[in-house]
Amino acid sequence: MAFKAIIQRELKRMVSRRIYLFLTVVAPVASFLFFAAMFRTGVPTNLPVAVVDRDHTSISRSLIRSLDAFEETDVAMEPGSFAEAREAMQRGEIYGIFYIPPEFRRSASSEKEPLLSFYTNDSYILPGSLIYKDMKLQSALANGVVQRTRMTARGVTEPQLSARLNPVALDTHPLNNPWLSYAVYLSNILMPAVLSMFVMFLVVFSVTEELKRGSATEWMELSGGSIGKALAGKLLPQTVLMGITGTFCLALMYRFLHFPLNSGFFPMFTAMLLLIVASQGFALLVLGIFKNTRIALSACALWAVLSFSISGFTFPVRSMPEAMQWFAHLFPMRYYFLLYVDQALNGIPVAYSISSYLALLLFAGSPLAVLPRIRSLLRANKYTP
Amino acid sequence: MGNIYYIFRREFRAITADSAVLIFFIGLTLAYPVLYTYIYSEETVFEVPVAVVDHCGSSGSRELVRAWDASPSIDVAARCTDAEEARRLLYRKKVYGLLEIPADFASDLAGGEQAHISLYCDMGALLNYKALLQSASLVAAGVGKKVQVAGLPYASTKQEEVTATPVQMEEVKLFNPQSGYATFIIPAILILVLQQSLLLGVGTLAGTARERSRRKSSLPSNGHYRSAFQVVLGKTLAYLPFYLVMGLWVIVVIPGIFNLTQTGSRWDLFLFLVPFLTGCIFFALTLSFLCKEREMPFLLFVFTSVPLMFMSGISWPSTAIPPFWKAFAYFFPSTHGIEGYVRINTLGSSFGEVREPFLRLCLLAAFYFLLAVLLYRKEIRKARLSLEP
């Protein structure tokens, strides 16, 4: 009965202030929709490049046309000189320059080795590498065209041609993300990481409020002095609410945006629920360790922001300095990322992912070690600014 | 003048007396850039472990594997007899990719037919995929070229090479030659941390003042706080000294310690930072009106850092940002700050070339200055009304 009373009290508290609606629904859902809108094309298209054509022949024109035909590349300008193109790049207007030298066609047809140059601006890594790929392919195509004319002239027949042009063909299989979609690769971690942040904030903020209003004594009395009951009653409504928002996140990604979900629903649903309770566990743990709500809030903010980097989805953890590789184990998001790769993306047997599920459970259970400290924090019922 | 000085002194004391604010203004700005530069200090991925399944076992296939293993980004960690074994290694994350060479690889090459090799990549981290793909294409092309040259019985060696690749290619990566991750992301983090720490610190000051005031006002009820203009100016003067020092730390010291790219002129950077920092302060003062409590800034502002990063045009190309969000991004000083800073610092633009983002920042600073003055005016008026019986 005490348990039910605490839950009712918590629900009443949560509807009494708008900030709770903001933390549980408005801010996380707005972030999900933001990321969904931002990456809606999957791969950025029509990235502007400049072509400096000093040849002005039918061959150079056709090179430019086929470069422009790539979905990711858009030939946005054709300045007369390289200097002009470089200035445009400095202004951030273009991400790459494709340079066709004077006399290109003549040297190509007279065995003289003309030089095609392409420049990318890798201060913008993503567009830089996409354009690099297109320009490289374009140069290879140019090579093929020239070789083809020469070889046919020598009487090499069509079936032998592709073997001659490209003796070793590399067939690439990007497993389970053949579209190389950045939407899949980014949203799958960004969205849950935002949710995890708000889960942690919600826990610490709701305890802060009790201390600030001096209502922790009343709360503890309701639970008959049991800290376990008190915390469980307070957190359960939060878990359920965040669980609903988390399920919305899963539905958005796998149902509406059609991201790969090769594991089926339950492994990822479990991962999401465990991420939520693991984040709650982490928040309580730091609250117990520091016995100070402000420091706990700062620690959660630090953890949440670092999660985006240290989960290792943009820059792999194994390429970080060794100290960071150890540090990464202390982040629930790290394990959620591993679960996403195993389950949603690759759909491998759940047995391979047991340790990551267990790690999240461990985070959820970790506050048990500091329960007495949390109890004394609530008993003191004192707010330290 | 006297009032401004009074407000400045009182705000300055409020900052130094509050460890939470000092942590935001100094601790955060001091530590974050160091931490992030450390995380990304390797710049790129090296020695990604991969598995090879060589069904051919010829000298040619072995040479291909050796060449791939020699690439700086690749470490052939396992040679498997079948794809099943390699797949299990992939599942256990012992390897992140797998190259399969078919049994007829050598005979195809010898017979003048195209040989196929297959590369399978784990797509959990795109950076690993990029490393695998680039090194494998390079190695395949290298082996291919040898075959092409060997397949031409006539002509001199030079002529053979010309025939193999009649068109030479030159690839130049400007401004970030090794495609370093730190070189790309750290400039944006540096600028963002200045804005976000101000939002958090100024929000905490305002929230604390409101919480402690019986009238829920962020301003004390004494005669010095009568002009909103003076309030904004006095407060700004209190924050500025901290941020001039932290600005130096972020712009000069951090890139110096960690050897980050610094092509532009330092004086251009300083000049550019003036409207950025003042803009950020007015922006923070404006948004501090959302903070009714000391803890609010955490709940309201921390999560915005990642979306702001994506809206700045660094993590996601600005040409791919939907128009609505692009317009939305205009209202944040960080968007223009990052653009200008990257252009000056990394791309080596002169001050004249960043006039546009500079002017946008000035406009934004003026906008938030006016907004902050209006909001304080309202607050002062409300306070006066509540004082009258």
B62-108, pLDDT tens digit by residue?
999 999 999 999 999 999 998 899 999 999 999 999 999 999 988 88
C-beta atoms of B166 and A150 within 8 A: yes
A120 three-class SS: strand
pLDDT of the residue at B155: 46
Look at A166 and A342; give whichever has higher pLDDT: A342
Ordered by start, the domain boundaries in chain A are 2-39+186-380, 47-146+156-165
Q: How far apart are CA B166 and CA B221, in angstroms?
A: 82
The verdict on a CB contact (< 8 Å) between B313 and A92 is: yes
| Token pair for B16 | 């130094």
Query: In the A/B pair of chains, how many CB contacts fall below 8 A?
Result: 303
Query: What pLDDT, on the 0 to 100 scale, is given for residue B349?
Result: 86
> Hunting for tokens 């007279």 — which residue is that?
A110
Q: Are residues B34 and B53 in the same domain?
A: no
Distance, C-alpha A232 to centroid of its chain: 32
Which of A136, A163, A345 is closest, CB to CB, to B123? Answer: A345
pLDDT band of residue A162 (cuts 50, 70, 90) is low
Whether B169 maps to a domain, the answer reads: no
- A321-342 mean pLDDT: 95
pLDDT-derived band at B368 (thresholds 50, 70, 90) equals: very high
Q: Are the CB atoms for A46 and B319 separated by under 8 Å?
A: yes
Q: Which helix (H) or strand (E) holds B135?
A: helix B126-150
Both B206 and B285 in one domain: the answer is yes
3-state SS assignment for residue A18: helix
Closest CB from B113, B122, B123 relative to A163: B113
Task: Read off the DSSP letter of residue B41.
Answer: T
Class of domain A47-146+156-165: alpha beta
- Residue of A124, A177, A182, A326 for testing the chain B interface, max B β-carbons within 10 Å: A124
C-beta of residue B212 within 8 angstroms of C-beta of residue B291: no
On whether both B94 and B200 belong to a single domain, the answer is: no
Structure-block tokens of residue B200: 């958090």
pLDDT of residue A154: 67
Considering only CB atoms, B122 lies closest to which of A45, A175, A321, namely A175
B347 neighbourhood in chain A, CB within 8 Å: 89-90, 92, 121, 123
* CATH number of B153's domain: 3.40.1710.10
If DSSP codes are grouped into helix, strand and coil, which group holds residue A171?
Answer: strand
Q: How far apart are CA B95 and CA B244, in angstroms?
A: 48
Q: Which amino acid does the sequence have at A162?
A: S
For residue range B273-288, list pLDDT tens digits in order: 999 999 999 999 999 9
Q: Flag if A173 and B175 touch (Cβ within 8 Å).
A: no
Q: How many domains does chain B have?
A: 2
Averaged pLDDT, A178-186: 88
pLDDT value of position A157: 63
What tens digit of pLDDT does each residue of B291-338 get?
Answer: 999 999 999 999 999 999 999 988 899 888 999 999 999 999 999 999
Average pLDDT over residues A291-316: 93
pLDDT of residue B147: 74
| pLDDT, tens digit, 9 for 90 and up, residues A64-123 | 888 888 888 899 999 989 999 988 888 888 998 989 888 888 887 776 778 888 888 888
CA distance A175 to chain B (A): 6
From the candidates B44, B61, B121, B126, which should be mutated to test the interface with A, based on the most A CB atoms within 10 A? B126
CB nearest B316 (choices: A38, A95, A309) = A38
| Closest Cβ opposite residue B166 in set A113, A312, A316 | A113
Concatenating the DSSP letter of every residue in B137-204 gives HHHHHHHHHHHHHHT--SS-HHHHHHHH-SSEEEEEEES-TT--HHHHHHHHHHHHHHHHHHHHHHHH
User: What average pLDDT does chain A have?
Assistant: 90
Domain that holds residue B296: 2-40+180-387
What confidence score (pLDDT) does residue A359 get? 97
Please indicate whether, in this complex, the C-beta atoms of B129 and A92 are within 8 angstroms of each other: no
Domain boundary among B164, B193, B211: B164
Q: Give the Cα separation of A363 and A361 in Å (integer).
A: 5
Q: Answer yes or no: is pLDDT of A272 > 90.
A: yes
Task: For residue B210, give both structure tokens.
Answer: 């409101």
What pLDDT was estimated at residue B159? Answer: 52
Compare CB distances from A118 to B116, B128, B171 and report the shortest one's residue: B171
B153 vs A36, higher pLDDT: A36
Instruction: Give percent above pLDDT 90 in chain A.
Output: 58
Contact B343, B265 (CB under 8 A): no
In a domain, B171, yes or no: no
**B385 has pLDDT over 50:** yes
φ and ψ of B95, to 5 deg = -135, 160
Question: Are residues B377 and B332 located together in one domain of the fold?
Answer: yes
Question: CA of A328: which chain B residue's CA is closest?
Answer: B39
Helices A182-212 and A265-290 sit at what angle, rounded to 10 degrees?
40
Q: Is the predicted pLDDT of residue B348 greater than 90, yes or no?
A: no
Choose the weakest-confidence range: A10-19, A144-153, A372-381: A144-153
In order, the DSSP letters of A199-259 are HHHHHHHHHHHHHHTT-HHHHHHHTTT-HHHHHHHHHHHHHHHHHHHHHHHHIIIIIIS--
Interchain contact, B128 vs A185, CB within 8 Å: no
Q: What pLDDT does A122 receive?
A: 85
Taking an 8 Å cut-off on Cβ atoms, the answer to whether A313 and B124 are in contact is: yes
**Between B229 and B387, residue with greater pLDDT:** B229
Taking alpha carbons only, the member of B46, B364, B166, B249 closest to residue A153 is B166
Q: Say if residue B187 is in the same domain as residue B212.
A: yes
Cα B136 to Cα B95: distance, rounded to the nearest angstrom: 15
Whether residue B67 lies inside any domain: the answer is yes
Number of C-alpha atoms within 13 angstroms, CB side, residue A101?
15
pLDDT given at position A377: 92
Q: Which of B113, B129, B296 sits opposite A174 (nearest CB)?
A: B129
Does residue B106 sit in the same domain as residue B185?
A: no
pLDDT of A158 > 70? The answer is no
B180 chain-A contacts, CB cut-off 8 A? 122
Contact B39/A177, CB-based, under 8 Å? Answer: no
pLDDT of residue A159: 57
| Closest-CA residue to B298 (of B20, B32, B26, B35) | B20
**Are the CB atoms for A324 and A310 separated by under 8 Å?**
yes
d(CA A223, CA A228): 9
pLDDT band at A276 (very low <50, low <70, confident <90, very high): very high
Q: How far is B245 from chain A (nearest CA, A)?
A: 23
Would you say residue B151 has pLDDT above 70? no
Q: Is the pLDDT of residue B4 over 70?
A: yes
φ, ψ of residue A51 in degrees (nearest 5): -115, 125
Chain B residue closest to A306 (CA)? B36
pLDDT at A165: 67
Shared domain check, B110 and B16: no
- Among the candidates B130, B164, B198, a domain finishes at B164
Query: Do the Cβ atoms of B117 and A171 come within 8 Å?
Result: yes
Tell which wins on pLDDT, B180 or A31: A31
